[in-house]
Amino acid sequence: MAILPPTSTPAAALRDLVAVFRADGRRERILGLTLSVLVTIIILIVFFVDSKINTAPPPRIIYVERYETGRTDADIVESQKRDQAKRKADAKEHQRQMQELQKRLGIE
């Protein structure tokens, strides 16, 4: 499905535009055409530049902990208990900080 009628081609449209401006070469028409083309180009450039900004998520670094191959089940359980205790302590500290912030801001 063609956008332009079959009798119109871009070359014919350009020839027609040039003929209109040659017939009446007033400065107002040329200035208006120049400004309209300039504004259109600026808008298109802004759209193309903006579409490239902040589109991809930043790379995430994932640290992997290496374990010894000869670990026993008791070592694994002990490590899990230490990690769980650290998570609980971190959660309690975070909760304490939020309660302190709540008191300072007067949130109930």
pTM of the model as a whole: 0.40
Domain boundaries, the chain: 10-50, 75-108
4-48 pLDDT tens trace: 666 677 888 888 878 877 776 677 777 888 899 899 999 999 998
Q: How far apart are CA 9 and CA 14, in angstroms?
A: 9
Q: Which residues contact 13 (CB under 8 A, 6 or more apart)?
A: 4
Tokens of 105: 């801001």
**pLDDT one-digit tens code per residue, 50-79:** 877 777 778 899 998 888 888 899 999 999
